[in-house]
Amino acid sequence: MEQIRRQIALGLIAAGSALPPERELVKLFGVGRVTVQLAIGQLEAERVIEIRRGRAGGSFVIAPSSDDRALDYRLIELRRESDRVLEALEYRQIIEPAAAGVAARLCRKGELREIESTLERSEGAVDDAEFMRWDTAFHLAIANATRNRFLAEAVERVRLSMSSVLSLLPDTEVWHDISNRQHREILDALKKKDSERAAELMRRHASSADKSVRSLLKSLSRR
């Protein structure tokens, strides 16, 4: 169930979405039904999911609270974790450009289609949650295209470390458009198998988010 927890934290399973039925989870993870039931019970106890009864029932991901008190708590936690976030930013500046460079050399047509599909979905996103979901999927698809488990795990780890702070950045169409345009340029470099350009474009893209996050942390330090 740790895989499901990670996908929820990354926004890949959106708030309000239903988890697969128990029988599918049993097949997916190769465990017994009791193990799945215990794991779902734990996620429910942690208020990660809620169980709904009836014909339209199932296990559904709970959206984070958006009230002022919950937001204040998230900001307090971010201030406490600011050093870790800064380390994650530095780590990302190393890992993601490297992954993009490797992916440009190795990615196949099917992997390029997957990367482009995530980009098209982020371009068509109707709200910030949907945009963040497909933004994350874009970066993970590039990491997976390296076919290197260590690079893929490193990119996923850094996205997990930054997921909470990225969700606090201002939600604007301008930011979405800039990010999607940068993603499109990265995709073009991948298609041309231009490793150096793919790595450089990813470095610039990561730098844009880096500046926004550092500005947010700086403003919090003044409170």
Four-residue CA torsion sign, 216, 220, 221, 223? positive
Q: What confidence tens digit (pLDDT) does each residue in 62-94 have?
A: 876 545 555 565 666 667 777 888 898 999 999
Cβ 94 vs Cβ 206: under 8 Å: no
pLDDT at 208 over 90: no
Domain closes at, from 61, 85, 109: 61
Q: What is the pLDDT of residue 223?
A: 56
Dihedral Cα 190, 192, 198, 200, nearest 10 deg: -170
Cβ 195 vs Cβ 45: under 8 Å: no
136 and 91 assigned to the same domain:
yes
208 and 112 assigned to the same domain:
yes
Count structural domains, the chain.
Answer: 2
Q: What is the 3-state secondary structure of 198-222?
A: HHHHHHHHHHHHHHHHHHHHHHHHC
149 and 211 assigned to the same domain:
yes
Alpha carbons 221 and 80: distance in angstroms, whole number: 10
Q: What is the pLDDT of residue 72?
A: 61
Query: Which spans in 53-194 are helix H?
Result: 68-80, 82-106, 109-123, 128-145, 149-166, 173-191
Domain ranges, residue 26:
2-61
Using a cut of 0.85, tell me whether the model's pTM lies above it.
no
Alpha carbons 149 and 117: distance in angstroms, whole number: 22
- Alpha-carbon Rg of the chain, whole angstroms? 18
77 and 40 assigned to the same domain:
no
pLDDT category at 127 given cuts 50, 70, 90 is confident
